[in-house]
Structure 1
Amino acid sequence: MIWLVKEIAKEFFKSLPEDKAKTESEKAGNKDQDESSKIEQSRLQEDPDFSASPAGRARAAKAAGMRLFQIELSLSRTKAEIIPLDGAYAHTQETEDYIQALESIEKEGWKLEHAGYVSRITGSESRLKYWGTGEQSAVNGEIIGIYIFRRENA
């Protein structure tokens, strides 16, 4: 009896020929996508410098099928300096050309969706005032840009 129910269920749930054609074409499309993803992964493994760059990370995320990509770039660094009998100062310098990094990510097929900025304090230096009361201090830190991209064809 169970055997008969199984046979009837097989016939009842058998897919239509159009459905079979659709699933076969989808499987072929997925195979092509998997092959291109494997080729892209092998390219990234060949050049470790590129794969560590923002564009390389974006390409790897796209090859992995990600729809969103987030990257944090250091925009500037501040270094504290204490000069005895003079005071506490902070010197700021830009760290890298982040515009070029953002453009290289967009060339990989990503569109900038959102940007945010944070200040991260990494330390401070202080000293007591020589004449008088109180102290002078300067802060070490950096400003970080947080960028979120969306894949263009998503």
Structure 2
Amino acid sequence: MALISKKSPEQQAQAAAEKARKQQEAEDKRRADQLERERQAFMSTPVGQARQSFERGDLVFQCSIDVMSQQAIIVAMVGSTTAQRTSDPVVVLNAVCHEGWELVNGSFVFVEQGQQSRDKFMSSGQNVAIKGETVGYYLFKRCEENRRKANEPWAQNATADG
């Protein structure tokens, strides 16, 4: 028959403290991992890339932003149309300038990704709908005067949570 071993109050307190320490370590690691994921996500944006480029000492920085996306829609016996989604890049462009850049040039290109066509119903010709996106290409030059104190968006979330 096995004897049931009872822990002394000191042993119980020590086990509870060890469990709490392990839980705190796991929480700290989870928080650090989350911060690193958020930092990586920021660095993959045009603003994050602009920051890295500035810190490297680059003299120019170029980025592209999808300005408008267009989907082709063909409806049988009715015709064709497109569905559009647009975005305003001004917030991103301002944020890039605040990283120490000055906008030199911007240009736009429609990148066709495909098209759908169908013969017109009860007449000659075709209905055609084009799928694609309008991409803005922006060129910046280094401008020390535009650089603002670099904030870390991923760190702001941590201070708000903790």
TM-score over 0.5 for the pair: yes
Q: Which residue of 2 aligns with 1:113?
A: 104
Q: How does 1:76-87 map to 2 (within 5 A)?
A: 76-87=68-79
Q: Give the one of 47, 53, 67 matched to 1:55.
A: 47
Q: How does 1:139-154 map to 2 (within 5 A)?
A: 139-153=130-144
Q: Which residue of 1 aligns with 2:126?
A: 135
Q: CA deviation at 1:153?
A: 3.5
The secondary structure found in structure 2 opposite 1:146 is: strand
The secondary structure found in structure 2 opposite 1:131 is: coil
**Residue type at the aligned position of 1:146:** Y
Alpha-carbon distance in structure 2 between the residues aligned to 1:59 and 1:116: 22
The secondary structure found in structure 2 opposite 1:132 is: coil
Checking the alignment, whether the CA contact within 8 Å between 1:125 and 1:139 is kept in structure 2 is yes
4+ runs deviating over 2 angstroms: none
Instruction: Kindly report the root-mean-square deviation, in angstroms, between the aligned alpha carbons of the 2 structures.
Output: 2.1
Q: Give the one of 90, 108, 114 matched to 1:99.
A: 90
Alpha-carbon distance in structure 1 between the residues aligned to 2:38 and 2:45: 14
The secondary structure found in structure 1 opposite 2:144 is: coil
**Residue type at the aligned position of 1:149:** F
| Unmatched tracts of structure 1, length 5 or more | 1-43
Alpha-carbon distance in structure 1 between the residues aligned to 2:72 and 2:55: 42
**Residue type at the aligned position of 1:104:** A
Q: Which residue of 2 aligns with 1:67?
A: 59
Q: CA deviation at 1:97?
A: 3.5
| Aligned residue pair count | 111
The secondary structure found in structure 2 opposite 1:62 is: helix
Alpha-carbon distance in structure 2 between the residues aligned to 1:130 and 1:86: 7
Q: Which residue of 2 aligns with 1:14?
A: none
TM-score by length of 1: 0.67
| Unmatched tracts of structure 2, length 5 or more | 1-35, 146-162
Q: CA deviation at 1:46?
A: 7.6
TM-score by length of 2: 0.64
Q: Deviations over 1:51-77 (max 9, x none)?
A: 011110000111111100000000001
Checking the alignment, whether the CA contact within 8 Å between 1:45 and 1:51 is kept in structure 2 is no
Q: CA deviation at 1:103?
A: 0.7
The secondary structure found in structure 2 opposite 1:47 is: helix
Alpha-carbon distance in structure 2 between the residues aligned to 1:87 and 1:46: 45
